[in-house]
Chains A and B, each alone.
Chain A
């Protein structure tokens, strides 16, 4: 079963300027890609050298504390479902899935003929073992993701049913496209093997680990045998190095020491564009699904709705985009363009209006204080500075609070910050997960509104069709944005930059989430 739930934004490259002019109605991707990778005969003995910003802390799928580690894992551990480059949910180790008519279970039909690297078969029992591990292992970080599963039943060797809590579980097929859906060999589970630093032969992916240094590098070699995915395993090996500094990554590409990397800060994206124009490197740009925006808590002066609305009115997405050379496509909605949950006719209630912002500020008296926290050295640093200026123009007293990027999100969720400029609002595969994470969950963008919570519960019913759920999510989005706890601004650009020998760089999944799934990337002769 295939759910088509988003369209890629890369196809809107030529209308970027027009899209900026249509700010507030969503926009298209900015793209000046001169070439998007090689498509010649493959060199199956080559090693792909990858440079990425995020380090990997360990290689256990169920002990990941940040999404940055996912790209290291996807070549090693197959997932029950996957997403393609456009964000469409596709079969992985589960060939199909279906909810019970009464929503009491999710039935997965599993792919036949798959074995883990240690020879153990991938079957229903393996899925059950993995789910139990994810729910019960000490330190597991997927407990919340799997909480709607109350039990498992093996129907036959390749069919498993996941019993669901009432009215829950609709997000599971999408959840399984991330680390929660990564399967490890049941033999390793039974033995209780610690796979954090050495997964051994516990995966079923196209690659195995040859060497791993946490926080530094991962070296993979093609696994023996034929992978079930004919598009995977095109290179003999993959070397992934963590390089936090984008300039260093670009230098590595320019000197040929690195084959592929990603940049998303405006300066680096512009530099990548010029490298593409000169034919030096191949570049593929996509708009993030992530929405750059300002999160707010009802703390201090932001407890007043008028102040939050003033913040929203004072931010001009078109101006932000122009300041960043068009690398931030205005988008003032919660759900991505083309998503079945999005409403193309939606008008953001607080579209830029400086006069209204000033009037609201005057109505509360004084100069309301707001502290803008952001991850230092990340692609939100410049936007935070620009937003500060915009708020000041409206009469708001805004301070900047840079913090290490690893602290930004966890501490905001813990309630340490009054507001945060972040690129982290990531619409999930299923809007139910988006809502439970950001709107009614720890980010509390609903501001505790009981109507939103009630609507979220109704919309997450797995027995409803997309057509039935869509209006509810549109209503949720509308009410949430009216609360002005989150000001969506734009979608930043993530550029895949590669040497001209790398193939299929425009087919890399997860790039629109700021991650990478390089299973299908190859190197031409």
Chain B
């Protein structure tokens, strides 16, 4: 298993080089002179030239990219062109917010998806199953940002049950941390919860028709035991695959949710860095998200071994 994980990680290295390079080129191609944007409206021509030299804008994009790779390998992600803060410090500070939000949303998505998926599969074609299908389909169509705005209106402004914005670190208390995550987390969990529901319902429906399940029923096992102990594990493989893909999507969806809820996370940092051509911050963000996606996919692959012993063999 370790060897397998190691091989997968080695295989991810080209990805970690290519994705930031593509972003580097794209931001370089974007219209506008970064020096002008960073220096502001009253910049003198001398200041602009100085800034261009500092940013290395007079150099070839490949040379600049290789210099960045070199400094990353030395453990230096650079400094923000806007605020002069260390990129690593910036990302670490914002990471807690985004990881809390994304983690909360994914856990919620899994719990809701498991419950509804199992319920729907108990009586395929029944009223409950159909209702869950319809609700999940509608949920997939609803944009997360719109849902987020509705939640704020209903549960924060009209009825002050949860805060309307902001984030409180876990170190400041579990309760306020949780309270600030509920509304944005629910908004972000909507789509993955719906997809997990449909995927699980479909997979469980297939598994429940298997011979070994019939055998289990014939042996007198209760419905709950049949579904949860015997059926669910085999039905989880496609669900875990979907979850792996959804992590990247949820990371992207966190951008709009963080802006709506004014949460100082990596999503809002990424938006700001794109708008202001803050290349070091943007590349640091891209590197982080690429690593997260690679890691999550690796964990998904490893989890197959848990769900299906044949894979382990």
Contacts and interface: CB of A to CB of B under 8 A. Distances in A.
Given A144-B44, A416-B32, A407 B160 contact: no
B165 A252 contact: yes
Interface in B33-61: 33, 36-44, 47, 50
A243 B82 CA distance: 17
B149 A255 contact: no
Interface stretch (B14-22, B136-144, B256-264, B287-295): B256-264
Contact of A214 (B39, B42, B43, B85): B85
A88 to B, nearest CB: 24
A394 interface: no
If over half of A's interface residues share one DSSP class (helix, strand or loop), that class is named, otherwise mixed; here it is: loop
Given A215-B82, A245-B259, A66 B157 contact: no
A416 B35 CA distance: 13
A141 B43 CA distance: 6
A247 B37 contact: no
A139 interface: yes
B259 A244 contact: yes
B168 to A, nearest CB: 12
Contacts of B71: none
B156 interface: yes
A410 B269 CA distance: 21
A136 interface: no
B148 to A, nearest CB: 11
A257 B276 contact: no
Nearest to B83: A214
Contacts of A141: 39-40, 42-43, 47
A64 B164 CA distance: 31
B37 A255 contact: no
A197 B156 CA distance: 33
Given A141-B43, A248-B260, A257-B166, A411 B157 contact: no
B235 to A, nearest CB: 40
A145 B84 CA distance: 24
A58 interface: yes
A197 B82 CA distance: 12
Interface size class of B (residues with CB under 8 A): 35 or more
A65 interface: yes
B171 interface: no
A1 interface: no
B275 A406 contact: yes
B272 interface: yes
A457 interface: no
Contact of B41 (A58, A196, A404, A413): A413
If over half of B's interface residues share one DSSP class (helix, strand or loop), that class is named, otherwise mixed; here it is: loop
A322 interface: no
B165 A257 contact: yes
B262 A243 contact: yes
Contact of A410 (B39, B262, B272): B39
Given A252-B164, A407-B32, A241 B262 contact: yes
Contact of A411 (B36, B156, B269): B36
Residue of A64, A65, A142 with highest tally of chain B CB at under 10 A: A65
Given A248-B260, A248-B261, A255-B160, A57 B82 contact: yes
Contact of A248 (B38, B85, B262): B262
B209 interface: no
B275 A404 contact: yes
A442 B272 CA distance: 26
Given A247-B149, A251-B152, A406 B165 contact: no
A73 to B, nearest CB: 15
25 contacts: A64-B40, A65-B38, A66-B40, A138-B50, A141-B40, A141-B43, A141-B47, A213-B93, A214-B80, A214-B85, A215-B83, A215-B272, A241-B262, A248-B262, A252-B164, A255-B156, A255-B163, A257-B164, A404-B275, A405-B275, A410-B37, A410-B39, A411-B36, A411-B37, A413-B36
Which 10 residue pairs across A and B have the least CB separation, nearest first?
A: A65-B40, A404-B275, A214-B83, A251-B164, A243-B262, A410-B36, A414-B36, A255-B164, A216-B264, A248-B262
